[in-house]
Amino acid sequence: MANVSSTLTSYLFGLLTADTGLDYHLIAGLEDDGLSFRGESHSVVIQNTSPDLAERSQTVRYPAIYLYCEKITNSLKEKFATFSGRGRLVVEVRCSQDRIEGMERSVERYADAVCRVLDGARGTWQDGAYYTGGYEVAFTTLKHGGKNFLQIARISFDVEVSR
């Protein structure tokens, strides 16, 4: 089952870092709002770690996007498949800055860009995975952390898998 989670997260990583991935949709969203892209660099990492632990153990470049498989369910819906179920993937957008002003808007822009990537990724992925669409976005409250203040948007969704 670990292979299912690594395959799904690797494919999602490829979607977000592709030419028509996160950067493309960030720029398009800013242009829709009449703003220009400041060339803000972000990091995309496959890792399930808390913000506190990540900051203590490594250098974090904000905004940071963390991808991980939260849960795998093998419900054996298909009779002769070894794995037939779903994987729950999570994309966490973590934004941090030294002032509160504009923090929420920054988190919303990144969450919107991730959702646009997912909207364009409906259909067959790879190795028997199929994304039907739909996701859930949850925003945390602003708290102390990172460069001074930290806010997280958590985008979670299910991918059907049959092998």
The full set of domains in the chain, from first to last, is: 2-162 (3.30.2000)
Q: Tell me which of 44 and 41 has the higher pLDDT.
A: 44
Predicted confidence (pLDDT) at residue 89 exceeds the cutoff of 70 = yes
Predicted confidence (pLDDT) at residue 38 exceeds the cutoff of 70 = no
Q: What is the largest CA-CA distance in the chain?
A: 56
* Torsion over CA: 25, 29, 30, 34 (sign): positive
Report percent pLDDT > 70 for the chain. 93
Least confident of 23-27, 53-57, 99-103, 109-113: 53-57
Return the pLDDT at 2: 60
The residue-averaged pLDDT of 142-162 equals: 92
- By the 8 A CB rule, do 14 and 115 touch? no
Return the pLDDT at 53: 85
Predicted confidence (pLDDT) at residue 160 exceeds the cutoff of 70 = yes
Residue closest to 77 by CA, chosen among 162, 7, 147, 141? 162
Predicted confidence (pLDDT) at residue 92 exceeds the cutoff of 90 = yes
CA–CA gap between residue 67 and residue 22 (Å, rounded): 13
Which span out of 36-45, 61-70, 131-140 was modeled with the highest average pLDDT? 131-140
Return the pLDDT at 37: 56
Task: Name the pTM for this structure.
Answer: 0.91
